[in-house]
Homo-oligomer: A and B are copies of this chain.
């Protein structure tokens, strides 16, 4: 056959690597992503990847950022009609949906944006919108942070999936109130979505009360 060294057309590029890595992580989890396995999937040898990324972690960062890029930020645009409360609500749903589609990537995203462009765009958009709505910068920072806590926490640890689907696992003598815990696995989605909806509503109600109470009169822009 032809001697393999450098093809005239590159076999690899960053996009193809990120796409394949993402598919692998989605299908089999973070542990399945090894440079050798990924390279095999791409039809090249392991070290080839290092012509396009400096480390495996950089590949994983790019995969994570591709997930962040799917989060809807339109509600934070200056000319969007939604008030800050509705904007946060709609954003949280889109945020959670993006992570729920790629649960294995959540541990990476939960660590914060770092230098990932799409992750930074998200942080920038929510901060800017909250300040425009009248929140003091310190509070706007807190809101961005606490929303991330809640959304990534909910996406990372599906509550119901956190219990084992095995009746004998939860001895009533040890855990008097967990009699039905193994049943959680059955209606997993309902529990997770219910808990998320309840928490989001409580969070926004609580923030709303604080907003009104603390009289955010504007010296400049107003709602």
Contacts and interface: CB of A to CB of B under 8 A. Distances in A.
A53 interface: no
Interface residues of A, number: 65
A178 B131 contact: no
Contacts of A170: 120
A175 B120 contact: yes
Assembly of this chain: how many copies?
2
Contacts of A121: 174-175
Interface in A85-122: 107, 110-115, 117, 120-121
A206 to B, nearest CB: 3
B148 A153 contact: yes
A134 to B, nearest CB: 15
A191 B141 contact: yes
Interface in A200-222: 201-207, 209-210
A-B CB proximity, top 5 nearest: A112-B162, A153-B153, A202-B206, A146-B199, A149-B153
Given A107-B156, A128-B177, 5 more contacts: A142-B198, A149-B157, A153-B153, A202-B203, A202-B210
